[in-house]
């Protein structure tokens, strides 16, 4: 198995050329690649391009290629030749090596000049020093087809550059554009590199990200996306954590540096209420903004905790991610839950087991006491009472509201806390069976 390099015969390795010269048969994965004239006209050479034409998926094509090469290798010395490097983006090579090991067929892999080498040269960039992230455009396209349930699959850090290979069609380019636009701004300047390493054919075109799918692309096309400055990666969760750290640092904001868990306590409640207001308004832009304000509270509390050595933001993520997986065995395990009631029963059972494993006491038996103590008493009472078939309509609501307001006024005038009075009354009347 040999790599033919990016498309210039001068870039073939000596080892690869020696293997080609000594072969009884040469099988090309594809002849649709520059710099193969000497091989295409060699009577020992055949290609697998026919499989691409009559099979319906890449998986079927790759399986067909493996069987074809193995059939030949069982009888004679064969060289299977692929573009670029045989270990870079070549699923057939790994599959062939595994099958050869199973069947005891001697196999050797000869390295080749990879697309990374050629692209690095074309861009004049040291990909290792730049800490480039490598992505396969076909994988991005597969992720995008899972939208709107593909959240988190594009695990890209926008403060590091991204190199996307195999951008072989306009449809794939469009998928790459849409996916990267989740973390990079649409006007971010990118470079479209075509036929890197092929003398006289290589081109590099710069354009904004939102114009990517308007560029000419083919099977030799890659996309280079430069990194964003740390504070300009505004679509990244990491930037929020970074900002919280900067605001709390010695050179940060005096107000932020002064805050504690206790001083931010009411702010968390206030921001949650503002999220609820945005939901009630039905304003999606406002909801996105208010959810962001709520995330600020999470980031600040995590930063304060990290400074005290208590926990970090990663601990927060670890707790919630493990909890979600643990409490959804019907999604991430082999449990069954066909109805909402089944899910609730499973959830409650897992919660009870978690408490026992932690050595915690059983939760309060009264529904009122199982709700957060910081929740307003009126809200707790309403939740415990639940929906009813009582008086309805505007007139009834106004009348009952007036009575409630009068009661609150009397309590305040008497120097009593309306919340505490309501809780005591609720407990005395034992309106809910335990």
Residues 274 and 289 in one domain: yes
25 close to 215: Cβ distance less than 8 angstroms: no
Residues 224 and 285 in one domain: no
Residues 104 and 121 in one domain: no
Residues 213 and 171 in one domain: yes
In this structure, what are the phi and psi dihedrals at residue 203, rounded to the nearest 5 degrees? -140, 150
Instruction: Give pLDDT tens digits along the chain (434 positions).
Output: 999 999 989 999 999 999 999 999 999 999 999 999 999 999 999 999 999 999 988 899 999 999 999 999 999 999 999 999 999 989 999 999 999 999 999 999 999 999 999 999 999 999 999 999 999 999 999 998 888 888 888 899 999 999 999 999 999 999 999 999 999 999 999 999 999 999 899 999 999 999 999 999 999 999 999 999 999 999 999 999 999 999 999 999 999 999 999 999 999 999 999 999 999 999 999 999 999 999 999 999 999 999 999 999 999 999 999 999 999 999 999 889 889 998 988 888 888 888 788 877 666 667 777 777 778 888 888 888 877 655 566 677 788 888 988 998 999 999 998 888 988 888 887 654 44
* 434 located within any domain: no
Domain boundary among 232, 252, 271: 232
In this structure, what are the phi and psi dihedrals at residue 59, rounded to the nearest 5 degrees? -60, -45
Q: What is the DSSP letter of 88?
A: S
* 167 located within any domain: yes
Regarding pTM above 0.85, the answer is no
Q: What is the DSSP letter of 364?
A: P
* 349 located within any domain: no
Residues 129 and 225 in one domain: yes
What was the pLDDT predicted at 432? 47
DSSP string for residues in 38-67: HHHT-TTEEESHHHHHH-SSHHHHHHHHHH
**Residue 128's domain is classified under what CATH number?**
3.30.950.10
**What's the CA gap between 10 and 18, in Å, rounded?**
14
Residues 17 and 109 in one domain: yes
Residues 136 and 217 in one domain: yes
**What's the CA gap between 174 and 402, in Å, rounded?**
59
Domain boundary among 275, 305, 326: 326
Q: Which two tokens stand for residue 128?
A: 């290792």
Domain boundary among 298, 326, 354: 326
Residues 308 and 416 in one domain: no
Residues 189 and 174 in one domain: yes
Residues 57 and 132 in one domain: no
What was the pLDDT predicted at 179? 95
**Residue 92's domain is classified under what CATH number?**
3.40.1010.10
Overall number of domains in the chain: 4
In this structure, what are the phi and psi dihedrals at residue 41, rounded to the nearest 5 degrees? -90, 5
Q: Which two tokens stand for residue 178?
A: 């849409």
* 145 located within any domain: yes
Query: Domain containing 168: what range?
Result: 116-232
Residues 264 and 172 in one domain: no
**What's the CA gap between 363 and 77, in Å, rounded?**
72
Residues 227 and 247 in one domain: no
Taking the CA of residue 94 as centre, how many other CA atoms within 13 Å lie in the half-sphere pointing to its CB? 5
SS3 30: coil
**Residue 320's domain is classified under what CATH number?**
1.10.287.1080
DSSP string for residues in 202-220: -EEEEEEGGGGGGS---TT
What's the first-to-final CA gap in the chain, in angstroms? 73
H/E element, 395: helix 394-413
**What's the CA gap between 27 and 41, in Å, rounded?**
12
């Amino acid at each position: 198995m040999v790599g033919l390099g990016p498309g210039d015969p001068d870039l073939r390795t000596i080892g690869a050329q020696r293997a080609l010269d000594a072969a009884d048969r040469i099988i090309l994965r594809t002849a649709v690649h520059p710099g193969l004239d000497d091989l295409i006209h060699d009577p020992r050479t055949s290609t697998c391009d026919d499989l691409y034409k009559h099979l319906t998926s890449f998986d079927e094509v790759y399986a067909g290629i493996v069987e074809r090469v193995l059939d030949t290798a069982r009888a004679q010395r064969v060289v299977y030749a692929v573009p670029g490097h045989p270990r870079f983006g070549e699923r057939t090579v790994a599959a062939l090596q595994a099958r050869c090991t199973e069947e005891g067929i001697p196999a050797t892999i000869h390295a080749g000049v990879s697309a990374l080498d050629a692209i690095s040269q074309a861009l004049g960039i040291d990909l290792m020093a730049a800490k480039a992230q490598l992505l396969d455009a076909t994988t991005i396209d597969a992720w995008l087809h899972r939208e709107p349930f593909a959240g988190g699959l594009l695990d890209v850090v926008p403060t590091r550059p991204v190199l996307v290979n195999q951008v072989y069609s306009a449809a794939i380019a469009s998928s790459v554009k849409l996916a990267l636009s989740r973390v990079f701004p649409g006007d971010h300047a990118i470079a479209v590199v075509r036929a890197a390493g092929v003398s006289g054919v290589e081109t590099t075109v710069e354009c904004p990200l939102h114009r990517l799918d308007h560029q000419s692309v083919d099977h030799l096309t890659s996309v280079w996306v430069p990194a964003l400055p740390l504070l300009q990666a505004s679509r990244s969760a990491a930037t929020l954590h970074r900002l919280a750290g900067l605001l709390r640092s010695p050179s940060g904001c005096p107000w932020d540096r002064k805050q504690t868990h206790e001083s931010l306590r009411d702010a968390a409640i206030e921001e949650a209420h503002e999220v609820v207001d945005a939901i009630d308004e039905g304003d999606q832009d406002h909801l996105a903004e208010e959810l962001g304000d709520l995330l600020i509270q999470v980031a600040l509390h995590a930063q304060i905790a990290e400074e005290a050595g208590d926990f970090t933001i990663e601990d927060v993520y670890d707790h919630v991610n493990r909890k979600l997986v643990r409490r959804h065995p019907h999604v991430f395990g082999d449990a069954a839950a066909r109805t909402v009631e089944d899910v609730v029963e499973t959830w409650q059972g897992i919660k009870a087991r978690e408490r026992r494993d932690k050595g915690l006491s059983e939760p309060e038996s009264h529904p009122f006491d199982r709700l957060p103590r910081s929740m307003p008493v009126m809200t707790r009472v309403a939740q415990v009472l639940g929906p009813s078939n009582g008086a309805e309509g505007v007139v009834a609501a106004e009348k009952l509201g007036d009575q409630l307001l009068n009661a609150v006024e009397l309590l305040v005038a008497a120097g009593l806390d309306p919340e505490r009075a309501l809780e005591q009354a609720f407990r005395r009347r034992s309106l809910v069976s335990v």
